[in-house]
Structure 1
Amino acid sequence: GLLDDTILIVMADHGHRFAKLRQTHQGQLEERLPFYSFTLPKALIATEEGKKMYNNLELNKDRLSSPFDIHQTLLDILEFPADLTTEQSVSSRSLSLLRLIPQSRNCDQAGILPHWCTCLDWKDAMNSTEENRLSTQIAAAIVEAFNEQLRDELKICARLELKSIEYAKKLIPKDVLLKYKDVKNKDDDEPDLSGKTKATYAHYQLKISTTPGRGVYEVTVLFEFPTRHLTLDLASVSHVSQYGEDPIA
C-alpha cells in the first residue's frame, strides 16, 4: 500500500488556546502537549536499522521531547545515522526521535521556557498573608506592564485593572539543593545538608483576570527577592479567554 515505503507523521502545533476548556488544567496540558504520532513502514522495521529506530521511538515516547526535535529527526530520515544505540547529548536543543533521548533531559536543556514546561513542581504562592501580599503585588505589576504595552493605544483603549487572581504558584530551587554545603568527607558521596543558602529568585506563574473586558491570562515571571525586580517576557503570557467575549464588562 501507500505506506509500504512512507514514514507518516501526524502532528498538531498546540491544543486549545482559549475558551472554557483552555481554562481547565486539562486544557492547559493539551495546549502545551499537542498530539504527535510517527509511523514507520513495516519494511523498514524489518531491517536491523529499522528495528533500532522503532525501539528508540518506543522509549522516547516517555521521555521529554519538543517540536524542535522534529528537525533533527527529519535530517536522520534523509541520512540514517551510523550510531542508533548511544544516547544523544543534551547540549543540543534539537535531538532526533529516532535515536535515544536521555531520560534525564529537562525543559531547560530542551529550550522550553518555564511557562510552557509541564514537568515542573510548582508550589502554592498564596498560602500565607505574606505570600498573598507578594502575589498580589506581582499581579498588579503584570497588569501595569500590559498597560505599558498599550500606552500608544490608550487614547482609544481603556486602561486595564486587576480584577482577580485565580491562582499564584512559585518555582524555587529544591530544599536539598539550597541545603547542600559539601560532602561530609572525601571518602564517600554522602552530602552535608547543613547549608543555609536562601533562594534569591523564583519563577511565579499567575492566572489573573482583568477589567474591562474580562480578559483571563496565565503569566510566568521571574522575581528577584533581594531587589524585588520583576522580569516579564511577553512570550510567557497566555491569553486564555476568548477574544471579544463580553468586551465592555
Structure 2
Amino acid sequence: MLDPFDRSLRAFLPKAKPLLDNNTLAFNQSAFRIANVTQSSLRCYYQTIIRYDGDRGVRMNNTIPLELPATLPYDFYQVTCRNSSEAIIYKNLFSNISPTSVHRDNPVEEESPQHLSVILFGIDSASRSSAIRRLPKTMNILRNLQAYDFKGHTKVGENTFPNMIPLLTGLNVSELHLPRRPYMDKIPFLWNNYSKNGYTTFYAEDTPTWDTFNFNKRGFQIPPTDHYMRPYQLALWNVQKMDYPYISDYCYNGMSRHSLQINYLKQFLDLYKRKRRFALSLINVLCHNTEKNLQFGDEDLRDFVQWMDNEGHLKNTVFIIFGDHGNRISGIRRTPIGYLEDRMPLLQMIIPEQLKARHATVHESLLVNTNRLTTHFDLHQTIVDVLKQSFSEPSIAYREGKVRGISLFKTIPLARTCRDACIPDTYCVCDQTIEEPTSHALAKTMSETGVQMLNHIMFSEDRCAKLTFHKTTSVRRYLRTFQETGIIQTAVSLFRNADVLDRYIVQFQTIPGFGIFEATIGVYLDGGIRVEGDIDRVNKYWNQSACIQDGALLRAYCYCVKKHRVN
C-alpha cells in the first residue's frame, strides 16, 4: 500500500506540465503543444503576493498584464494565463529572490576566508538514526564531503520551539519571559547579529500552520530576515484550501513541497554568491508526522548538497544540516529505540578546507566532539564564534555562573554529564534502562499517577474530558548505581534528590481518545510516587483537541467534549 506522500507524487507529477519554466517565466514550447495553444493566443497577467497584518495573512494585488518572457522584481507572485476563449489554462505561484524587495540599513558585504557564511538546513523531527535509515544517499555525500557527524547530539526541549530558541538565541524559552500568544520580533535571534555585520539573511519554513514561531504564537510583525518565505507558503495554503488542482500537503503543480523550498534557498545562494549569507531553512512536511516520508526527500537533499559543492557555495561557508529533535509521535516513538531517537536529533557540519588549514585545532576539536555529548546550546555558541571569527580561542557561554554552551570548535570534556550540558533529566540518554513487566501493581499505580497529573493540568478547562486510566503500555526502569554513601539510586537521581529509590519511564493509555503518554516517574523512599518533569504525548491526536486554540500542552492532553466558543 502506497503511503500518502508516494500517492501524491504519483498522482500529480505526470499531470502537471507547466506552460512556463519555473521562475524564469520563459515559454515551455513542449507544454504549449500539449495544451494545444499558441503563443499569440495566450494572454497572461500576474499578481504580487503581499503580506498583511504581520504573519497572519497574504493578499493578491491587482492583476497586471504580463508580456512573456519576463523577469519580475518581486519575491512572490502568481501568474495566470488564459486562451482566446478566456479559459484559464495555466496558474502558478512563483517564488523568487529579488534584491529590490529588501530595505537594509547597511550594505551586504563580501564573504571571505575570515567572514564565513552560515547555512542552517533543518529537518523537523529528523534523528540521526532515521537519517541513516531514510537518507542513505544524502548521508553518503555528506561523508564524501567530510562532514562531521555528531553522534551524541541531544535535544534540550520537547518539541521544535524549545529547541530552536536555544539554537538561535542561546537561551531557554523560560528566560524569554514571553506573554501568552506573543510576537517574536523582540527575541534576540542570531540572524540580527549577522545582519548588522553585513550579512544578507534568509528564513524559510514550509508549513505555515506549524511554523516554529507561529504555532500558538503570533509570529513576526515585520519580516525577521531579508528574505522570508512565509507569504509564499501562506498563499500555497490558501489555494490548497480552495481545492486547487495538483496540490496537496506534499505537492504543488508537479513539484514536491520540500523541493519548492530548496529551490528558494538555491535562488538565494545564487543571487548572493560570494556575499556574506546567513540562512535558516527548516523543512517540516517530510518527517513531522511520520519518519517513513523522509525517504522521499533523499535524492532531492543529496542533489542539493552536491549542487552546493559543485557551484562553489561551500568554499567559504559553514553548512549545517540538523534536526530539532527526533520523531515524537510516529509508531517507532513508542519503542525503546524510538525513545532514544526522539532525544537524539541529526547534526552534521561541513566547514571550509581553508578553515581546517588555518586552524588545525578546529578540525581536531570537531572530530573529537563527534563522540561527545552536545546540544543546541553548543551549536549556538559555534555559530556565534563563526561571526566573531573566534577559531583560535573558541568561546564558552555562561548563564548564572554555570556553563551553558561550549563552542564545537573547542574540545568538550569527556566526562560531561547531562547536568553539565543543561539537558533536563527527562531528555537525558546517558543512563541505561531495563524493561519491566506492565502487569505489576506498581506499573498501574505509576500510570494512574500520570493520569492524575494530566487531569490536574486540565482541571480548570471544562472543554476537556476527565481522562481515565486504560492500560500501561510500557515500563522501563533506570539501572541502579552506587553513591559513596552506599545508597542505591538511579543514575539520573544522582543529579536530583537523595531520597529517590527508583526512577521509571512509563507509557500509559487513557480514555476517551486512547491517547498514549509517557512520563518519568520517581518512586521515593517515603513511599511517594511523583511525576518528574513534563508528560509527553507520543501518539497523534489529530483533531481531538480542536476546541483548544492556545497552549501546546493542553492541545496534546485534551480530549474535547465542548466546542470552542468564539467571541
TM-score class, shorter-chain normalisation, is 0.7 to 0.9
Tell me the residue number matched to 1:211: 511
How big is the shift at 1:13? 0.6
Residue 55 (str. 1) matches residue 364 (str. 2): yes
Amino acid at match of 1:46: A
1:126/1:113 Cα in 2 relative to 1: closer, same or farther (>3 Å)?
farther
Query: Which is further off, 114-123 or 104-113?
Result: 114-123
2:321 to 10, 17, 34: 10
Residue 228 (str. 1) matches residue 528 (str. 2): yes
1:16/1:169 Cα in 2 relative to 1: closer, same or farther (>3 Å)?
same
Contact 1:88/1:102 (CA < 8 Å) preserved in 2? no
1:54-102 CA distance string (max 9 Å, x none): 1211110111001111121122222315446xx999x512111111001
> Which runs of 5 or more structure 1 residues have no equivalent in the other structure?
182-194
Residue 238 (str. 1) matches residue 536 (str. 2): yes
Identity of aligned residues (%): 25
Query: Which is further off, 18-27 or 34-43?
Result: 18-27
1:137-192 CA distance string (max 9 Å, x none): 121111011111122234x33221111112222336503x2xx45xxxxxxxxxxx
Q: 2 CA distance for matches of 1:72 and 1:88?
A: 7
Contact 1:6/1:41 (CA < 8 Å) preserved in 2? yes
1:1-24 CA distance string (max 9 Å, x none): 221111111212112121223223
Contact 2:449/2:529 (CA < 8 Å) preserved in 1? no
TM-score by length of 2: 0.36
Amino acid at match of 2:337: Q
Residue 138 (str. 1) matches residue 446 (str. 2): yes
Tell me the residue number matched to 1:152: 460
Tell me the residue number matched to 1:192: none
Contact 1:7/1:38 (CA < 8 Å) preserved in 2? yes
Q: 1 CA distance for matches of 2:335 and 2:436?
A: 19
1:173/1:92 Cα in 2 relative to 1: closer, same or farther (>3 Å)?
farther
Aligned to 1:56, the other structure's residue is in SS state: helix
Contact 2:431/2:479 (CA < 8 Å) preserved in 1? no
RMSD of equivalent CA atoms: 2.9
1:104-162 CA distance string (max 9 Å, x none): 111121111222112212234449x8xx22232121111011111122234x3322111
Tell me the residue number matched to 2:390: 80
1:95 to 398, 406, 413: 406
Amino acid at match of 1:240: V
Query: Which is further off, 139-148 or 159-168?
Result: 159-168
Tell me the residue number matched to 1:171: 478
1:124/1:153 Cα in 2 relative to 1: closer, same or farther (>3 Å)?
same
2:469 to 162, 177, 184: 162
1:224/1:120 Cα in 2 relative to 1: closer, same or farther (>3 Å)?
same
1:109 to 409, 420, 424: 420
Aligned to 2:504, the other structure's residue is in SS state: strand
TM-score by length of 1: 0.77
Q: 1 CA distance for matches of 2:436 and 2:503?
A: 11
Larger Rg: 2
How big is the shift at 1:204? 2.0
